[in-house]
Structure 1
Amino acid sequence: MADMKPGISGGRLSHSDYAVNFGDIHPPLDAHEALVESDRCYFCHDAPCQVACPTSIDIPMFIRQIQAGHAKSAAKTIFDQNIFGGMCARVCPTETLCEEACVRMEAEGKPVKIGLLQRHATDAFMADGVQPYERAKPSGKVVAVVGAGPAGLACAHRLAMHGHEVTVFEARPKSGGLNEYGIAAYKSTDDFAQKEVDFILGIGGITVVHGKTLGKDLDLAQLQKDHDAVFLGLGLQGVNALGAANDDAAGVEDAVDYIAALRQASDLSKLPVGRRVVVIGGGMTAVDAAVQSKLLGAEDVTIVYRRGPAQMKASAYEQELAQTRGVRIKHWAMPKAVIVKDGKAVGLTCEYTTEANGRLTGTGETFELPADMIFRAIGQTYVDAAGSQLALEGGRIKVDAEKRTSVKGIWAGGDCVAGGQDLTVASVDDGRRAAESINNFLKA
């Protein structure tokens, strides 16, 4: 984390400003608003919204249940497919998934607010603190889950439903994975990530052990010996290198680390932020780091991305969010060198880029951006903590449709597996699918 140096400071704003800036970005619908919005649904028989949902939630069904005044029944419909339905309602890019596929979107350019309706239903259910599922008769089988993120906990919950005992090993002090450490604070307020973890663990039969890292505190072969099956929900621990001169200078940080520190900060006024911030990257992490820097009091925040708006992994909505919060997005530019003075980053030299025959190249023309802090948000990588015991594909764990790895008795899911979407909702689906496969394996 950056030190308090010239240009970098905490406490730029009043406590009331921090509260407003980091308040809930999408306030929940009240009961009347939910009824009005649910009435807009056509309840399509082919449900393109459901097809677009990675967890295949029966969206027309749960919206009809809300319309009928049964929000808690709607929540049960959601949880049947996605036990993280509450968080996914907050962070899922619905604008590029279910809502983009909504027939209302095609007809009017204004989709049904599926994400907010999902939140309305799941919040209503979780407010009672009741677990919607009961465990089956104990099977006598024990399963190890490595990683207490969305994939791992979704897998653990479904395994517990089937009566298996599950031990979840997590490297960090808290469970939740990216839901706890990796998303913008204004998307998950009031400690919702931990409330959801408690809700999921409420089924029983799941023990979480923190401070345990695969490859350091845990050995995969030993886990196999001690358990009847193993699921790996390791996430991505590595960060891509910037590849620019002086990229190790003070003031150059990984955006994921900064976001994690922000999420765990008890007093945002003590979190250092530069007056001039540059974020390199084009995904959700880049937007989250940039917007939150602005909300912390940075005066000038710029995202630098090597290609155009259409190629950014951040959705059009997220790009607009950044720009309406005062963040400038500089497209068609790539970093060449960090400008250093007295050992500290004071700016970034960038080169304009162009695309020819599908290949990105520099134009030779450069410009400079002054910066007190520079964040790398150019993607994360899988670190092979399994010690080359599992087959990899494209630098991540190779799995089949049931999330089985190349080693019998070991499954994997979430961001650590090849071909994933790097979305919370996709990780949840991986965990659920793996759990069903593991259950069939244990019953065989």
Structure 2
Amino acid sequence: MQEKINLAEANITDSESYHFDDLHPPLSTLEAKIESARCLFCYDAPCIDACPTGINIPSFIRKISANNPIGAAKTILQDNILGGSCARVCPTETLCQQACVRNKEPECQPVQIGLLQRYAVDSLAGAPYPFNRKPATHKQIAVVGAGPAGLACAHQLAQQGHTIDLFEAKAKPGGLNEYGIAAYKLIHDYAQQEVDKILAIGGIKLHTNLTLGVDFHLNELQESYDAVFLAIGLANSRQLGLEGENHPQVIDAIEYIEQIRQQNLKMLPTNKTAVVIGGGNTAIDIAVQLKKLGAKEVTVAYRRGREQMGATEKEQYLALLHGIKIIPWVKPVKIITDKKQLLAIEFEHTQLIKGKLQGNGEFLIVPTDFIFKAIGQSLADTAFNPDAPHVKDKKAYIEHEQGKIKILNHYQTSLDKVFAGGDCINPGEDLTVTAVQQGKQAALAIHQFLMAKEGE
């Protein structure tokens, strides 16, 4: 891992004015009542089909309109145990709200489902989530990774009466909700509050600071547990492959976002400029946060057009609102330094030729103080190396596909008793809500697997 930037040495000044406001202030009770009244409560609601977790959206909105927000929250959490964070971070504009029938002529304004979902779940503040465990089955499952997929899987299995050991490589559970989401989307310690409620169901024992492939190994889990669920995410940041990439002022965006969330920085990088390379939501997240931290100028550079960016139109608009410049159709080719100081980055303009992205021989130099890489993440597959000395059976190598864990039917991997879900599997959409759904479905598959074994 490259050396993390020393903020104190980056000419950063203290400021008590630094803070991250909530991107979307919550609805008041009156606002929620008015907005819920706009829902047509469709019989064959397209918003349900558009929600990866299948939340009965008309049902929970009807309960809000009937002054029953707690009932609405229960409806949401039955399908999405992380409904509170998903209400805040989901790209609802491309999911449920895009499918809303109100999102057509003459209104072209969908029901604000995300804000209503947040209103409902927040009504449970101070109260435990409404779930109970079934009688103990005496089956033990290892869940590796305490992010959205792992938490959803563990909670679903706990409801069935199973006992779960939940392993997390970092110091805190929550995954990207705790470490990788922009601070203005999940403010304060909301991610931890949500985790605490999930673990309160019982039957889940959390183990932190333990890494698969380092502190314990997959074959050991296979021998010790009735089933294993891998929800290890994508731990490695992709690299540019350019000389000078290890310069301390060339930084992994996801690592810097983690520093912002965990250190509660009260500093401003005044009079500093930054270039963010990438076109996804992480690129926008880091760019907006840099501006909020006081960066003088922030530029997002992407190798394709804005229409192909992974960041939604709403996210791109948010960047523009913060004065961030977006340069499409450029790829980085050279990091320019004077050995100690980062000076600039050179790009080559790109174009599509017969469907293939190519440079066109025209170049652009952008002076900058910092470069942030947000070009995606990849699977840390050292835990699955068949040549590692701890692996007894060299054939016991988990199959991969397109750089991720390959799953067969019902989230089973190529290894006996081992299931997987979330960002680490192929296919995966790298969305919190999708990870929750995969964790939930995998838990049901694991439960059926265990009960079938019981009946043999």
- TM-score norm. by structure 2 comes to 0.93
**Alignment partner, residue 394 of structure 2:** none
Partner of 2:117: 118
Cα distance in structure 2, aligned partners of 1:124 and 1:77: 13
Q: Which residue in 2 is equivalent to 1:252? A: 250
The equivalent residue for 1:30 is: 28
Whole-angstrom CA distance in 2 between matches of 1:77 and 1:274: 49
Q: For 1:378-418, what per-residue CA distance to the aligned partner results, in whole angstroms no more than 9, with x for missing partners?
A: 01001212235211111101113521111121110000000
Q: Percent identity?
A: 50
How many residue pairs get aligned? The number is: 437
Task: Tell whether 2:414 aligns with 1:406.
Answer: yes
Residue 190 of structure 1 and its aligned partner are, at CA, apart by 2.4
Equivalent of 1:43 in 31, 41, 54 = 41
What is the CA deviation profile of residues 218-267 of structure 1, one whole-angstrom value per residue up to 9, with x for unaligned ones? 11111111111100000001111113332222310110100011110133
**Aligned equivalent of 1:131:** 129
Structure 1 counterpart of 2:296, from 289, 295, 299: 299
In the TM superposition, 1:229-378 aligns within 5 A as 229-269=227-267, 275-378=272-375
Q: How far apart, CA to CA, are the structure 1 residues paired with 2:88 and 2:31?
A: 17
Residues in 2 aligned to 1:284 and 1:360: alpha-carbon distance in whole angstroms: 22
The alignment's C-alpha RMSD in Å is 1.4
Q: Residue 76 and residue 273 in structure 1: after superposition, are their counterparts in 2 closer, same or farther (change >3 A)?
A: farther
Runs of 4+ in 1 over 6 A off after TM superposition: none
Residue 198 of structure 1 aligns to a residue whose secondary structure is helix
Query: Whole-Å Cα distance in 2 between the matches of residues 364 and 274 of structure 1?
Result: 32
* Equivalent runs, 1:50-129 vs 2, <5 Å: 50-107=48-105, 108-125=107-124, 127-129=125-127
Shift of 1:345: 1.6
Q: Secondary structure at the match of 2:350?
A: strand
The answer to whether the Cα contact below 8 Å between 1:273 and 1:373 also exists between their aligned partners in 2 is: no
Structure 2 residue 393 is the aligned partner of structure 1 residue 391: no
The answer (yes or no) to whether the contact 1:144–1:229 under 8 Å persists in 2 is yes
AA in 2 matched with 1:395: G
Mapped to 1, the partners of 2:401 and 2:351 lie a distance apart of: 30
Residues 1:3 and 2:9 aligned together: no
Cα distance, 1:226–1:5 mapped onto 2, change above 3 Å: closer
Q: Which residue of 2 aligns with 1:194?
A: 192
Using the size of structure 1 for normalisation, the TM-score is: 0.96
CA drift of 1:338 comes to 0.5
Q: What CA distance in whole angstroms lies between the structure 2 residues aligned with 1:62 and 1:436?
A: 24
The answer for the alignment partner of 2:391 in structure 1 is none
Q: Which residue of 2 aligns with 1:174?
A: 172
2:404·2:426 contact (CA, 8 Å) conserved in 1? yes
Could you tell me which amino acid in structure 2 is paired with residue 23 of structure 1? D
Deviation of 1:420 after TM superposition, in Å, equals: 0.6
Q: Is the 8 A contact 1:250 1:343 kept in 2?
A: no
Aligned equivalents of 1:298, 1:119: Cα separation in 2? 31
- Contact 1:273/1:293, CA 8 A, preserved across alignment: no
**CA distance, structure 2, for counterparts of residue 259 and residue 267 of structure 1:** 11
Measure, in 2, the Cα distance between the counterparts of 1:421 and 1:27. Answer: 27
Question: For 1:306-331, what per-residue CA distance to the aligned partner results, in whole angstroms no more than 9, with x for missing partners?
Answer: 11111000000000001101110011
What amino acid maps onto 2:316 in structure 1?
Q
Query: What is the rounded CA distance, in whole Å, between the counterparts of 1:50 and 1:133 in structure 2?
Result: 22
CA deviation string 1:137-169 (max 9, x = no partner): 011111100000000010000000000010001
Unmatched segments (≥5 aa) in structure 1 = none
